[in-house]
Structure 1
């Protein structure tokens, strides 16, 4: 398995292609609430041949997630809709602790499933080790720096990250133009 440091820590390709300011969910979504679109997508990188559209983009509500905070999640991606073209975040469990802001150190647990093959690529839950980072410092992919703003300690958040905020042309075990689906737990904020 790839480690998150290799999966999301290497942002050279994406960061060079995209310079977006950090923005994110206000962390007030409930598990039944609507998804929050947090970043506009620029033109997708050219590489793989386009696939036929299924007629609509998936929303956060289309993604199946089992397990609560601290439990290894199971992520199910449907076959009847297209990956979103914008960053989508949804709080699955509302945290009650401090809120993550740019510059805040956080410790996260995560599980990653790739959209194209619906396969779990990496999981800190499986390793039993959290991933530390400073939010907004550019040490991870832009989809994390933007999508985790506002998460509260004790919260679980779904992130659907389009290619331009992930790996664009691919790398670190990620295919070109891959959409990434993460379930993240904010184990410690601050």
Structure 2
């Protein structure tokens, strides 16, 4: 999973292409984008313009969530038609750089807020979860529950393991699952989060465990794709084979 990153100038530049399709008919009317209608029977050039615009917008809309589409279209038309820009190139660069810095500051503040809230929620969850029948807690804070004990061998940290698993947040949201993909995965046990490296060494082949992993032995303050910073994670893991 990819790490969460802040807005970059390159992402911002890509986002500036969001509604390319709005101007694809090369018309001079300011209302052209609003009046055009595209269907399967439209001319090829219209469909090309619309397709480019839609795909670029869909792929980049999160980069500039508050983009003013009217001024974007005005800027695009002026540039495409060779008109004099309302701002100098230096001014435009300054505007984009300032915007990026503002978005980065907002992002950092938002992540710090979420990190604090998730840490508090996770700690409270683990306190209550640790009291449940069958749940054991290790020195690192890792909690686990044996669903099926297993009878094969246990892996070492340097081994490659084959597993099926499902990963959830404490609110029940599933963020990753080999079951959904329809096939198990293999990986070196010392190249995953610390909670997994520790937890799977407690298992035997054929076993099935539930792991409740504190954020500091999961993805920590960095978080990951679909996982906010300082998130406590819940995994159901079947150890199929130690290689």
Correspondence list, 1:41-190, <5 A: 47-49=115-117, 50=120, 56-59=127-130, 61=132, 86-115=141-170, 117-135=171-189, 137=190, 139-169=191-221, 170-190=223-243
Q: How far apart, CA to CA, are the structure 2 residues paired with 1:128 and 1:171?
A: 23
Using CA pairs below 8 Å that are at least 6 residues apart, which structure has the higher relative contact order?
1
Answer whether contact 1:60 1:90 (CA < 8 A) is retained: no
Listed one character per residue, the Cα deviations across residues 86-132 of structure 1 (whole Å, up to 9, x for unaligned) are 211222101111211221211010011101x3211111011111111
Answer whether contact 1:101 1:150 (CA < 8 A) is retained: no
Secondary structure of 1:172's counterpart equals coil
Aligned residues: 126
Secondary structure of 2:175's counterpart equals strand
The normalised TM-score by structure 2 is: 0.46
The normalised TM-score by structure 1 is: 0.57
Give the number of the structure whose residues are more often helix, by fraction.
2
Q: Structure 1 101/86 Cα, relative in aligned 2: closer, same or farther at 3 Å? A: same
Give the number of the structure whose residues are more often strand, by fraction.
1
Unaligned runs of 5+ in 2: 4-111, 135-139
Greater CA radius of gyration, 1 or 2? 2
Name which of structure 1's ranges 163-172 and 45-54 shifts more when overlaid on structure 2. 45-54
